[in-house]
Amino acid sequence: MKTTLLVMTLNEIDGMKAIMPQIDKSWCEQIIVVDGGSTDGTIEWARENGYEVHVQRQKGIRYGYFEVMPLVKGDVILTFSPDGNSLVSAIPLLIEEMKKGFDMVIGSRYLPGAGSEDDDIITAFGNWLFTKTVNLLYGAHYTDVMVILRAYRTSLIDELDLLNEKAYTIPERLFGTKISWEPLMSVRAAKMNMRIGEIPAAEPARIGGERKLQILRWGAAYYSQFWLERFFWLGGKKCAKNKTTQ
Q: Tens digits of per-residue pLDDT, 27-38? A: 999 999 999 999
pLDDT > 70? residue 211: no
pLDDT > 50? residue 243: no
Taking alpha carbons only, the member of 7, 49, 6, 5 closest to residue 29 is: 5
Q: Contact at 8 Å (CB) between 73 and 4?
A: yes
**Quick one: pLDDT at residue 15?**
95
- What phi, psi does 99 have (nearest 5°)? -70, -15
**Quick one: pLDDT at residue 237?**
42
- What is the number of alpha carbons within 13 Å of residue 200 lying toward its C-beta? 8
Mean pLDDT over 61-65 rounds to: 94
C-alpha pair distances (Å), 62 with each of 56, 72, 152: 10, 15, 16
CA torsion angle for 167, 171, 176, 180 (degrees, to 10)?
Answer: -50
Q: Contact at 8 Å (CB) between 4 and 76?
A: yes
Percent of the chain residues past pLDDT 70, beyond the cut: 92
Distance CA 34, CA 64 (A): 6
CATH number of 3-232: 3.90.550.10
Q: Contact at 8 Å (CB) between 80 and 7?
A: yes
**Quick one: pLDDT at residue 212?**
58
Q: Contact at 8 Å (CB) between 203 and 119?
A: yes
Note the pTM of the prediction, 2 decimals.
Answer: 0.90
**Quick one: pLDDT at residue 236?**
45
Give the residue, 244 or 159, on which the prediction is more confident: 159
Distance CA 246, CA 198 (A): 5
Break the chain into its structural domains and give their ranges. Answer: 3-232
pLDDT digits (tens, 9 = 90+) for 70-96: 999 999 999 999 999 999 999 999 999
Taking alpha carbons only, the member of 164, 165, 125, 163 closest to residue 146 is: 125
Mean pLDDT over 215-231 rounds to: 89
Q: Which range is least confidently modeled, 114-123, 172-181, 195-204, 235-244?
A: 235-244
**Quick one: pLDDT at residue 218?**
82
Distance CA 120, CA 76 (A): 32
C-alpha pair distances (Å), 53 with each of 27, 34, 41, 127: 18, 6, 13, 31
Specify which residues 34 forms β-bridges with.
Answer: 8, 54
Distance CA 101, CA 2 (A): 14
